[in-house]
Amino acid sequence: MIAAAMSVGALVQSYAEEAPTVTLENTQGSKIEAVILASDNTTVTFKRVGADKIYTLSLDKLTEDTQDALLEFDLPVEMEDPEKVDVISVPKESFLPIKFSSGKTSKRTNRGTYNDERTDTLKPVVTIENRDSKTPLSCEMTVVVFGRGVVEKRTIKVLAKKSFTLNQIGGLKQTYSLDEFSFRYDARDSCNYGFKYQGYAVVLHDKEGEVLRVIASPPGYQSIPRRVLKCTTGKVYDPELIKEIKPP
């Protein structure tokens, strides 16, 4: 972590063609040595030290100390080649294991009665390990959690959905958490209702929704990632996520 008392001069490592090399730290604690090419009050454009790809990052993704340091430099605010900004970077699949944990706990109430209800609580977490030390992970990620109907088993409810902007340097393992939530259902005897936890989909994509990679369980969601991105929390769909099903 960059200490608040650290001076701007301590952040500057060297100069290459009048472009400072600075340690950038994002709000999630990831650090990267970067050659700063342009900076203004909202964004910074840079290259990773030793690499040629150019990235543009919103300043609000960086720590306050890093923002203060960047604002001290007298840098151009426009790039000569703007087509190179906002580069999407995703390491090869073998270097980027992605794991999903539902964090599920279950509580059964009214045991042995007509209404034998269960309350499930989920606290989903996605863990991504970037094993490629030279390639940062820079893209969007959307995580969707699904439930299947207890009575109508061919109905799918979107239990939770959350999107993240990923800026993860090589060699780093990081977790991304969804908010904890609970839901009730009864899947025993005759008083059946509600939705049970079914599975998830994790989709890496660009800002326009172009899919870069997807993991899912059940695996059928891997074949329909664009529909996964379009579905809405709380709504009920058919198994292919094509048609929204209204409650009776």
How many other C-beta atoms can be found within 10 angstroms of the C-beta atom of residue 47?
18
What is the block-wise mean pLDDT of the chain (248 residues), using blocks of 10 residues?
31 43 84 82 81 80 84 54 61 96 86 71 97 92 97 96 94 94 85 93 94 96 97 97 89
Q: What token pair was written down for 64?
A: 């306050």
Residue 194: CB atoms within 10 A of its CB come to 18
What is the structure's pLDDT at 5?
Answer: 28
> What pLDDT does residue 11 have?
33
CA 124/CA 165 separation, integer angstroms: 17
- Class of domain 93-237 as given by CATH: mainly beta
pLDDT at res. 85: 42
Residue spans of beta strands (DSSP E) within the chain: 12-16, 19-25, 31-39, 43-48, 54-58, 98-101, 105-109, 117-122, 125-129, 137-149, 156-168, 173-177, 181-186, 193-205, 211-217, 236-237
pLDDT score for 81: 45
Domain residue ranges in the chain: 8-84, 93-237
Task: Please report the pLDDT score of residue 83 as a whole number.
Answer: 42
Query: The CATH number of 8-84 is which of 3.90.175, 2.60.40, 1.10.3470, 2.30.30?
Result: 2.30.30
Would the pTM count as exceeding 0.75?
Answer: no
Percent composition of the chain: helix, strand, coil (DSSP 3-state, to 5): 15, 45, 40
Distance CA 207, CA 190 (A): 46
Q: Euclidean distance between the first and final Cα of the chain, in Å?
A: 54
